[in-house]
Chains A and B, each alone.
Chain A
């Protein structure tokens, strides 16, 4: 199965089960969780079911394209469902089946792995899913987001698309993944890995990045004062990415590190709280919608 077919299959699978299929968000972020489709929508009482591909940037994970398993830019397939349905594990296993992985043939395990992103005041508990020892998915029941208790609780399923595809295709390097029948992942991204690793570790300008961080931070606060929640959130994402770039460059000491994380956390909290108030003022409009039943589309008709 090609990389693009994996994505298409998952879209079909989750779309059939009532999830809104949305497109990637256009600001750099370290994980699909930071997309507003997850980070903000997990807040408050409104039901929400969504699935999307999200590009992730982790500047520190760059290896100049030399490591077969580690890259500074990759994709996650993200599903978020609120409230968490009681058959979610079974549905997830069905999704593997749709990709041609028959659970009967493998050793599939749900192994404790709790998630915390202190920088955005979010945490949850869950598992990493092992497929014959390979971590292919992260499962998280959100408990807090932006410092706000999640009620109801959302469940987040994050598939590591490259890992999963490597497994399906039997290849040992990300760059050997067949994207379609003619081109590989390496054809598309190897040069970007080399150049961005060079940028992240050597060529980035720390002075400029420190300045940018300050500007994004100020802008986030300014926009929040105007109650422009979503534009403010974009600035918080930019702060977070700039911090990651500085961290990869090795110019943030241990103690400064904590200080930057606290700055971002404080902004994220404020955005989360503003978002909640905004939705409340709107009367939580999505409360009218029905939560995902997770029945396959054919069964419903």
Chain B
């Protein structure tokens, strides 16, 4: 068994490409090998900014010999009067065999000629030579490039190749225009710490040889080294490194030989909000900030940079980086000081110059709409004067920070800066917090706004976006959702759920459509329907994917093309979630079974009748004079008893109460269907039949207060 090494040496690859290429090779190389009957014992992929490498262990000298079977013509076509036909001879020739090698076998389609052929294995190095160019050039990446005068495309120019079959060089050439890169055993060490080429003696010593040349090829090793060194470095200055996982991933692929270097900045910069400092350090400089303590939000005036330089030069490197961060932080402080020279409210007029959407006007106009929608929500939630005042103020100011210099520089700080500036402008604390919170949740799984004002403004902002964009006919389709309307709708539902806000979305959408800038909304009724459908789909998805409700139970509460359930879901978004969870819980504890058969059967049969789905009381609907069997009277009595129970359950949204009542009624209905004095529901006499169908319809209606049992699958 042999070990094979391939190293593709490049100019500095983008960090994202290194990680992606490693994953692609790790996933694809074993498959490509197995397609060629090669099963290595291990495939280890490595990468640094200047190289991608794979070490394949346990490869045989050649592919195993294998037997292939081929199907030829049917016996009828292959032999005539016992003699082989031209078709038979042709088949034999094409396989390099003779008629004697034929086997005749029966198949579903009659008797056919088969041959078995032994294919000798080819030398593995020969197979690898053929496969490797595709491994390299079929790697996918975001922006591949050409270089020199060639047409090859790769993430960055390829400068050297190492290919070793154990100790032997496997000859490979990559041609790109006038340049040819030929494989040998010479790799490159660290640019500074090991400027001379590195000779790799054998494929199996690749990792250790490069380590001696100050290259750590294993990203996992680099990740650990960085984490450990950063923690130690932070400890040296009395703090804790704040390591953002995404940044760590990137930094791992920005260095070949990591050294954590601590630098410092003037403590006076700590007056600038920590969010700004962290943004400057992380996104511009790829530094790890240093916190006072674990979990603290307070920073120490230090930073950690992961250097690729000579550890002995860390002093110079820290000094240089310190000057850079000073310049960056001066910028941040400049913006912060300039922005605070005027109150947040005074930025409002400038929002007129920021377009929200061409046909929907400026962000200033949007702010006014957010205020008006927030008012509707306050009405729905019956909020009192102090809450209401803060909410409307936050709604007005929530976008004002977009035209501050800081947010112009760091768009990610929208809301965060608004909060700070609201405070320095003397706005109430609730207003300040709501400005930051109204952007939450920023994505699936993100934190929800905690304050009432943050929730209401967040809802209003998103409702405005949804209604506005829908009114332009720009409804998301498939993967195209440029305004992230699905995310906005999900956020609306999740905010209401998270904060237990009994939101009537249906009415809110109607109110907003009615008040929407006249002229932009052509057909409010049609738009209302589109928005309803959109929200119902979101509610379904959230229930099923986030809340873990079975799909049939989701159908049972949201309804399948049943406007009544759609209405209920949108008119009370909390109730639809509660009913879904209740159904799931009774399915899980198996109490659903106690009523499932009777209710489901009643629901299905009741379709034959014409009873209105809201009727509950049998006394005005069912005529006991038409009863023929005692089981009918029993169901009638059970329904009469159910009426107050169901009404109470409905009023209290107490579905366990309803469930208990239905369980009490279930035995009577069972007898009605299958007992000794059971009846034939579809009786010949239309009056009797109608009476019986109405009994079942009533039971269905009681159950409908919870869900559409017809949609539940056993």
Which A residues are closer than 8 A to B by beta carbons?
Answer: 63, 66-70, 83-86, 89, 93, 103-112, 114, 124-125, 127, 131-134, 141, 143, 150-153, 155, 167, 170, 172, 250, 253-255
Contact = CB atoms under 8 A, between A and B. Distances in A.
Given A133-B320, A134-B324, A152-B148, A110 B49 contact: yes
A155 B159 CA distance: 15
B307 interface: yes
Contacts of B355: 253-255
A67 B324 contact: no
B320 A167 contact: yes
Interface string B300-318: 0000010111100100110
A229 B355 CA distance: 37
Interface stretch (B8-16, B27-35, B131-139, B649-657): B8-16
Interface of B: 11-17, 49, 143, 145-149, 151, 156-157, 159, 177-179, 191-192, 254-255, 261, 285, 287, 305, 307-310, 313, 316-317, 319-321, 323-327, 330-331, 334, 353-355, 358
Contact of B159 (A86, A93, A131, A153): A86
B149 A132 contact: no
A106 B254 contact: no
B229 to A, nearest CB: 14
Contacts of B320: 106-107, 131-134, 167
Contacts of A89: 11
Nearest to B325: A133
A124 B147 CA distance: 11
A84 B152 CA distance: 14
A141 B285 contact: no
Contact of B148 (A84, A143, A255): A84
A125 B157 CA distance: 11
B316 A153 contact: no
Contacts of A132: 309, 316-317, 319-321, 324
Contacts, number: 125
Contacts of A125: 143, 145, 156
Contacts of B145: 124-125, 141, 143, 153
A133 B305 contact: yes
A111 B254 contact: yes
A223 to B, nearest CB: 32
Contacts of A109: 12, 254-255, 308
A127 B11 CA distance: 10
Contacts of B324: 132-134
Nearest to B310: A104
B282 to A, nearest CB: 13
Given A132-B317, A134-B324, A152-B148, A69 B305 contact: no
Contact of B177 (A63, A152, A172): A152
Contact of A112 (B14, B149, B159): B14
5 contacts: A67-B330, A69-B327, A103-B191, A104-B313, A253-B355
B353 A250 contact: yes
A106 B316 contact: yes
A127 B146 contact: no
Contacts of B148: 83-86, 152-153
A257 to B, nearest CB: 9
Contact of A143 (B146, B287, B305): B146
Contacts of B307: 107
Contacts of A84: 147-148, 157
Contact of B147 (A108, A127, A134, A141): A141
A253 B353 contact: yes
A172 B327 contact: yes
Nearest to A110: B12
A83 B159 contact: no
Contacts of B49: 110
B146 A70 contact: no
A46 to B, nearest CB: 12
B691 to A, nearest CB: 67
